[in-house]
Structure 1
Amino acid sequence: MSVAKTIEQKLRNAFSPTELKVIDESHLHAGHAGARPEGESHFRVEIASGDFKGMSRVAQQRAIYAVLAEELKTDIHALALTVRS
């Protein structure tokens, strides 16, 4: 399974989002440190879920990082987040 699909599946399972976009921006970072030759290293995630209601921005990001902990150790070099409740 691709890294993008893994991200999408894990976030859907964890937060049941009403909106979710996983955008691979790796091509914008080709040749930079952390960029893998095969791509799928830099992502932008836009997610909306009621699960984030009442959480601070930091708490929202920590919750997402916890769900993607394994991928952040191995596959994901950069992750930009836009989170809405």
Structure 2
Amino acid sequence: MRGYVRVASSSSVLLGRLAADLSRFAELHPDIEIDLQEQGSEGTLEMVRNKEADIGLFVGAFEAQSLVTFPFVPRQHP
């Protein structure tokens, strides 16, 4: 599998667990390039709204308007 994904993330999510999960993903899928942009939560939402990011991860309750949102619950690693 090959590809490119643009990820925007708030610092809280990135420092909390996302960095480790993205590192593991990159090891398992070396042909998928990840472009990671660190933003505040509102900046993350704006990047997704403006199609500057494919995925956005943020903390807090924000009006997502026409975006589909899901909670990010990291998989527990033994």
Same fold (TM over 0.5): no
Q: Which has the higher contact order (CA 8 A, sep 6+)?
A: 2
TM norm structure 1: 0.31
Q: Considering fraction of residues, name the structure with more helix.
A: 1
